Structure 1
Amino acid sequence: MPTAPSALDIARALVAFPSVTPDDSGALPYVQRLLAEASFAVEIVSFAESGTPTIANLWARFGRDAPNFVFAGHTDVVPPGDETRWRFPPFSATLADGALWGRGAADMKGGVAAALAAALRFVARGPFKGSISFLLTGDEEGPAVNGTVKLLDWARARGERFDACLLGEPTSQAALGDTIKHGRRGSLNGRLTLIGRQGHVAYPLLADNPIRALAPALEALQAPPLDLGTADFDPSNLEIVSVDVGNPATNVIPGEVRVVFNVRFNDLWTPATLAAEIEQRVAAAAKGARYALAFDPTNAVAFLTQRGPFTDLVARAIEETTGVRPKLSTGGGTSDARFIKDACPVVDVGLVGKTMHAVDERVAVDDLEALSRVYERALELYFTASERG
């Protein structure tokens, strides 16, 4: 059997595909060929839904026995923005200063590459009791409608069962392996419109300025705190992200004020209970003023993988490989772990994410290879434990 490619080899190949959501641009077919050559069963499946782009996703499995260890992730990336601001072209996969430069290097083609390299090395060693699977999507940076959530349903409808999952989002803060995300906060967007009556500023009695209701509404949204947090989660946090009256004139009282806000919430709330709390606050602050309050649909709910054998195993793999003792965290943004948690225990462990989504996104080459060794050690520990029963 030919020597398995390194994490760096795979990462460079992946970064070179301009796979900005929803365009795959060849990234998943490349992974398909790589895994098929190592005797994985591989399929690329596409899902569509009205109003959203069709998305390619990849499922792969080596072995048929339980337990089934899953690597999950995404090969889509956010747009690079103004490419003239980059030191190197964003899809050139340039090596310089000990780093791999390019859009997606950190988020999260580097993590996908590390998992692929680890799995290919592990299966090349010879037989083991269990299976290794991959769930990769092209819809994590987009609406996340036709990606992991549907791929999981598709796989389980075929009889696939999953026992543990590592997701390679860039979770590390300062040094590789310093943080394991064993849960994620939920995310809810709200849109509040304060409704008045447009008119001439010289005739205020003929108008109703909705801006007068703005300050009480903003105060009600943010105080008192939604909660004080829990042992595993920080307090839920509401941030105002936009206030707009759409009024360019200085002699017109506007007819409405539009407020947009986002809440990152912990497991004390569901989207429904959180929306009810916000509705109650706005109603009390409005004091009879007219308003409209709506919430965007969300598939991002808070979840927690309880500390236990799986989180301990991942932490051990990190410490034995890197010498770093990781901390467990539920901070940061959402990930597709929010879908996978309904199928099996899942944690996020990945590269240092300081440059994710930024101009000149990059990762240290040494970290790529070290992360691959962490993943390989996790496989060793997991299947050794399963053999012991």
Structure 2
Amino acid sequence: MSAALELAQALIRCPSVTPDDGGCQALLGQRLTALGFRLEPLRFGEVDNLWALRGDGGPLIVFAGHTDVVPVGDPGVWSCDPFGAHIRDGLLYGRGAADMKSALAAMMVACERFLAACPHPAGSIGFLLTSDEEGDAVDGTVRVMQTLAARGERIDYCLIGEPSSDQRLGDTLRIGRRGSLSARVRVQGIQGHVAYPEKALNPIHAFAPTLAALCGQNWGGDDPAFPPVSFQISNIHAGTGAGNVIPGELLIDCNFRFPPQPGAAALKARFEALLDQGSGNCDVQWTLGGEPFITRGGRLLEAVKAAVRDVLGVQPALSTGGGTSDGRFIAPTGAEVIELGLRNASIHKVDECTPVAEIDQLADVYEALLTRLLGNR
């Protein structure tokens, strides 16, 4: 059994449903300590974070990732123990197998092999681990980055092990992500009997034209490196549950995924203008989940593409699609950020799994990346 597979299994067997780390960071910390890393556990609220650093000079490349996983749901629906890390037909099964404990194992083994071959690299290596990526993401990477910024510590290159690959390992690199902007609209009406609508005000009826206008908008976004703006209604709620009562209030949750242009401020302004034009008595509360970011070029991107090409024989596509990632907290500091991990076909699903062979291949790619960036020249 390979070292990367063995470590991936050990991590999967640590139940770490967000925000619980489940002992993963302690397991990884032991191996980092043996490599000469200086460990700094950073706990905020219920969230465990680990900042580990080896070296004092630049450039600094950081492997970033999360040890928490989403809930398994009904374990009886799984074909195996979700935390058993079973291998069947060349696949490693378990919650976190693809997202992203196997990538963490590949990072660790790659670092061990690289430092064995190059004990005095031309720069520094860091690990940034959190147990708050799959949850609220308020006490995880964002807090670690605030701590580093307050001390004047800066990351040059960051490789995040999120499952970026699609049909085969290495076929896609995430070079950025769209921002996330959520709105909760509260429309006030007057509750009453459905037989006496003249004595009530139905907020659903009042807001329906505005809702249609919102859904019919072309919200823009013409940056060729990004998908256009996406607007989606995620929840609508009104009523008491009784069929003969006109509701007194309507709640609507919606979300924008947006590129740098038009940006959050412009989307807010257009959205609120449409609300003002409507007939509903409403207010809106905004939540900015993250700004868009992108690494359009640079040494890290070129090194990752070369490592993927040399090890896997693949020319990766560059993408900014998908949801948010913790890269949104790291990129604003000026770091070059690239996401490269395993295939994402089974993430967050029942029977999450990843090909065993690709764990070792990913470790090879990560090692090749370290050699290109920090190998003695």
TM-score range, shorter chain: over 0.9
Is 1:59 aligned to residue 59 of structure 2?
A: no
Determine whether 1:267 maps to 2:260: yes
Q: CA deviation at 1:55?
A: 1.0
Match of 1:51 in 2: none
Q: Provide the residue aligned with 1:246 in structure 2.
A: 239
CA contact (8 A) 1:184 1:333 kept: yes
1:170 to 163, 168, 179: 163
Identity of matched residues, %: 44
Residue 310 of structure 1 is matched in structure 2 by 300
Aligned pair partner of 1:378 in 351, 369, 374: 369
In the TM superposition, what whole-angstrom CA distance separates every residue of 1:286-318 from its partner, at most 9, and x where no partner exists?
A: 13x31122123x341111112233212211111
Shift of 1:262: 1.3
Q: Kindly indicate whether the alpha-carbon contact (under 8 Å) linking 1:201 and 1:253 is maintained by their aligned counterparts in 2.
A: yes
Equivalent position amino acid for 1:360 in 2: D
Give ranges in structure 1 of 5+ residues lacking alignment. 49-53
2:67·2:100 contact (CA, 8 Å) conserved in 1?
yes
| Corresponding position of 1:32 | 29
- By how many angstroms is 1:117 displaced? 0.9
CA distance in 1, matches of 2:235, 2:295: 33
Distance, in Å, in 2 between the alignment partners of 1:258 and 1:159 is 43
Distance 2:145 2:59 in 1: 17
Per the alignment, residue 110 of structure 1 pairs with 102
Q: Does 1:334 align with 2:324?
A: yes
Task: Report the counterpart of residue 148 of structure 1 in structure 2.
Answer: 141
Mapped contact 2:36–2:54 kept (Cα < 8 A): yes
Give the TM-score, by structure 1 length. Answer: 0.92
Q: Secondary structure at the match of 1:294?
A: strand
Equivalent of 2:339 in 348, 355, 362 = 348
Report the residue type matching 2:258 in the other structure.
Answer: F
Flag the 1:136–1:5 CA change in 2: closer, same or farther, 3 A: farther
CA distance in 1, matches of 2:2, 2:38: 19
In 2: Cα distance, 1:184 partner to 1:157 partner? 25
Aligned residue number for residue 99 of structure 1: 91
Per the alignment, residue 294 of structure 1 pairs with 285
Question: Following TM superposition, by how much is the alpha carbon of 1:158 offset from its aligned partner in structure 2, in angstroms?
Answer: 4.0
In structure 1, C-alpha distance between the alignment counterparts of 2:32 and 2:120, rounded to whole Å: 17
Q: In structure 1, give the amino acid aligned to 2:22.
A: S
Cα deviation for residue 73 of structure 1 reads: 0.5
Is residue 51–residue 128 contact of structure 2 (8 Å, CA) maintained in 1?
A: yes
Distance 1:251 1:42 in 2: 62
1:271 Cα shift? 3.0
Greater Cα shift, 217-226 or 140-149: 217-226
2:311: which partner in 1?
A: 321
What are the ranges of 5 or more consecutive residues in structure 2 without an aligned counterpart?
none
User: What is the alpha-carbon root mean square deviation over aligned residues?
Assistant: 1.7
Shift of 1:131: 1.2
* TM-score, length of structure 2 as denominator length: 0.95
Per-residue deviation, 1:159: 4.6
Output the CA distance in 1 between the equivalents of 2:17 and 2:289.
21
